[in-house]
């Protein structure tokens, strides 16, 4: 049942004991973009662009954090899933839950161990449709692959075993068969780099002998010929690949080894020896020819995880809307939390300066501030509660996000369908750079389940509230209140702060412009020729759903297009 309550309504408040709540601690900062998530530990990032959104995947350190009871050291052994985030503005990130790799690879039996360090790519197969491939380190002994028809799944394991192991031609000897880095070249051919570890008995600090690169068959799930050695000086781990102006760019993390052999490397040019545990890169036209690779030097010196420790790193260079961004991980969030836990990492992003024509990456410094928003967030579109720039005191309804009977994904990793934010007194979320326009907003709707009170605050989470929404529903329902357009005008940072809660699950929100007169219709003279329905996160549905909210796009005979939210039934049905 849809509910519409106004500010003067106190029905829910009568059932709640409302007190001034101290907002949960902010471990990130209002204006800092790093890390991308303030409540999920994750590492080893990879990314791809799809339909105007950037999707970022990483190792689910948080699974180990929870397995450890939020203490102790990260030994990676309990990590059997990957995390997925997406953005279109680079500061507000939607958490899409986790990919349960252990469940997907259950048919492997004893061959499956863990899931670390993903690398992802896509390709067009026909009629503009894409297929997605995600490669992951199965602990340090092999590499697996997953396949999907969308960037958030559902994913499946196309093989009944790892894709690459020690028996794969050209791989042995390789200490660690892990950290895959995939790229599809301009001809549509896939390539995969991988490997790492301490030097082979026949190797040296300068030439450990553990890096490999291979061509992929059209299936993208097996090698096309043998893997070959990739001559990466002081390689330790973290292989990734990019294509720039038709050339291959290979990036990797160096070891802690002494650099005494540096002067014996003829390909060093004028480059100094790389610092311990730094990020370096190489370039070639012919990746399977070891002698063709040109060493280009260090592009990220060891940052000591922002000044504390000598942790290694894992980066991914990603182009998005004509700019390059470097994704990486650090222990910044862990340090700010100061829980006593150690080794739990968080993904960050900074803008990179890249010359594609020269395949050059300017040396850069990692920052807490990170990147600036590349566009404003639209408050008049339905927004998921899992979309945020920062948060405090929240958890997710089900971190592994698995539902026994989901109709969209066998994994249940669709944010709009299965994932909500658990709110308790003092918890809050922040969305940055929200543009209410010159007319301002007149109404606010929250979609939630449970009983509680959510206050809207602007600028700071401790500011006075400018709108209050009292919630009470045993099922997911929409509650609407009127707001002051003179307050909700222009570009703001918006906080949703919970001041009272009883099993409160926050799912989505949407403002309505103050001058909105209802859903726009096509002119009488123009008939509708096409109706399309999308999930709230923008995925096209083959048929209208039986119930729930959808985004409806109507196209008229003369080309006029309208997009609005439609209620198939007057309730949120899960």
Contacts of 405 (CB under 8 A, 6+ apart): none
- Scanning the structure block, which residue is given the tokens 């979309």? 387
Nearest to 195 by CA among 257, 134, 117: 117
26 belongs to the catalytic site: no
Whether 42 contacts 62, CB under 8 Å: yes
**E strands, 255-333, where?**
279-284, 294-300, 316-320, 323-330
Q: How far is the C-alpha of 299 from the C-alpha of 514, rounded, in Å?
A: 49
* CA distances from residue 467 to 245, 337, 458, 488, 506 in whole angstroms, order as listed: 51, 30, 10, 10, 16
Nearest to 421 by CA among 486, 539, 507, 521: 507
Token pair listed for 545: 């759903």
SS3 sequence, 190-240? EEEEECECCCCCCCCCCCCCCCEEEEECCCCCCECCCCEECCCCCEEEEEE
Task: Say how far residue 152 (Cα) sits from the centre of its chain.
Answer: 10
Contacts of 37 (CB under 8 A, 6+ apart): 85, 93, 95, 346, 347
Centre a 10 Å sphere on the Cβ of residue 47 and count the other Cβ atoms it contains.
Answer: 25
Whether 89 contacts 375, CB under 8 Å: yes
Strand order across the beta sheet in which 212-215 lies: 181-184, 190-194, 212-215, 228-229
Whether 189 contacts 246, CB under 8 Å: no
Contacts of 289 (CB under 8 A, 6+ apart): none
Kindly give the pairing relationship between strand 491-513 and strand 441-458: antiparallel
245 belongs to the catalytic site: no
Whether 413 contacts 98, CB under 8 Å: yes
Token pair listed for 395: 């958890």
Token pair listed for 543: 């048929």
Q: How far is the C-alpha of 483 from the C-alpha of 506, rounded, in Å?
A: 19
The values of phi and psi at residue 415, to 5°, are -60, -40
Whether 341 contacts 65, CB under 8 Å: yes
8-state DSSP, 333: H
Instruction: Name the active-site residue from 26, 237, 334, 552.
Output: 237
Instruction: Name the active-site residue from 44, 100, 386, 537.
Output: 44
The kind and range of the H/E element at 306 are: helix 304-307
Whether 406 contacts 434, CB under 8 Å: no
The kind and range of the H/E element at 553 are: strand 549-556
Whether 412 contacts 401, CB under 8 Å: yes
Measured on CA atoms in the order 255, 369, 50, 403, is the torsion positive or negative? positive
Catalytic residues: 44, 237
């Amino acid at each position: 049942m849809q509910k519409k309550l106004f500010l003067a309504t106190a029905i829910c408040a009568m059932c709640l004991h409302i007190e001034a709540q101290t907002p949960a601690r902010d471990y990130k900062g209002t204006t800092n973009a790093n890390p991308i998530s303030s409540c999920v530990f994750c590492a080893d990032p990879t990314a791809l662009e799809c339909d105007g959104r950037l999707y970022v995947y990483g190792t689910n350190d948080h699974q180990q954090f929870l397995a450890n009871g939020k203490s102790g050291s990260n030994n990676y052994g309990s990590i059997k899933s990957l995390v997925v985030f997406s953005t279109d503005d680079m500061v507000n990130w939607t958490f899409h839950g986790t990919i349960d790799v252990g469940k997907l690879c259950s048919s492997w039996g004893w061959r499956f161990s863990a899931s670390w360090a993903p690398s992802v790519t896509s390709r067009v197969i026909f009629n503009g449709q894409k297929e997605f491939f995600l490669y992951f380190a199965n602990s340090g002994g092999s590499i697996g692959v997953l396949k999907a028809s969308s960037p958030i799944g559902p994913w499946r394991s196309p093989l009944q075993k790892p894709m690459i192991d020690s028996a794969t031609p050209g791989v042995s000897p390789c200490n660690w068969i892990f950290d895959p880095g995939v790229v599809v070249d301009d001809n549509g051919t896939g390539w995969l780099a991988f490997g790492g570890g301490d030097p082979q008995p026949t190797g040296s600090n300068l030439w450990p002998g553990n890096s490999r690169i291979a061509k992929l068959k059209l299936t993208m799930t097996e090698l096309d010929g043998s893997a070959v050695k990739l001559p990466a000086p002081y390689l330790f781990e973290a292989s990734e690949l990019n294509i720039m102006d038709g050339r291959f760019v290979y990036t990797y993390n160096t070891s802690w080894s002494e650099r005494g052999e540096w002067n014996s490397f003829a390909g060093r040019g004028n480059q100094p020896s790389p610092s311990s545990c730094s990020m370096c890169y190489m370039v070639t036209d012919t990746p399977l020819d070891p002698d063709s690779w040109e060493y280009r030097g260090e592009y990220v010196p060891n940052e000591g995880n922002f000044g504390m420790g000598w942790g290694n790193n894992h980066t991914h260079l990603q182009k998005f809307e004509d700019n390059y961004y470097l994704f990486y991980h650090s222990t910044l969030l862990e340090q700010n939390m100061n829980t006593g836990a150690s080794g739990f990492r968080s993904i960050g992003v900074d803008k990179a300066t890249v010359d594609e024509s020269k395949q050059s990456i300017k040396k850069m410094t990692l920052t807490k501030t990170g990147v600036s928003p590349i566009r404003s967030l639209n408050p008049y579109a339905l927004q998921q509660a899992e979309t945020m720039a920062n948060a405090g005191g929240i958890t997710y309804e089900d971190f592994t996000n698995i539902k026994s009977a989901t109709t969209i994904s066998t994994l249940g990793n669709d944010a709009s369908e299965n994932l909500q934010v658990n709110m308790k007194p003092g918890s809050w979320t922040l969305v940055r750079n929200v543009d209410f326009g010159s007319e301002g907003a007149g109404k606010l709707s929250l979609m939630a389940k449970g009983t509680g009170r959510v206050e809207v605050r602007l600028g700071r989470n401790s500011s006075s509230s400018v709108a209050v929404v009292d919630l009470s529903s045993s099922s997911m329902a929409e509650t609407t209140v009127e707001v002051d357009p003179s307050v909700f005008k222009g570009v703001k940072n918006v906080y949703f702060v919970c001041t009272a809660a009883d099993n409160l699950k926050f799912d989505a929100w949407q403002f309505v412009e103050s001058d909105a007169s209802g859903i726009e219709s096509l002119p009488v003279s123009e008939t509708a020729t096409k109706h399309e329905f999308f999930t709230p996160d923008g995925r096209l549905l083959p048929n209208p759903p039986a119930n729930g909210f959808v985004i409806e796009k109507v196209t008229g005979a003369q080309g006029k297009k309208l997009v609005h939210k439609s209620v198939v039934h007057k309730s949120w049905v899960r």
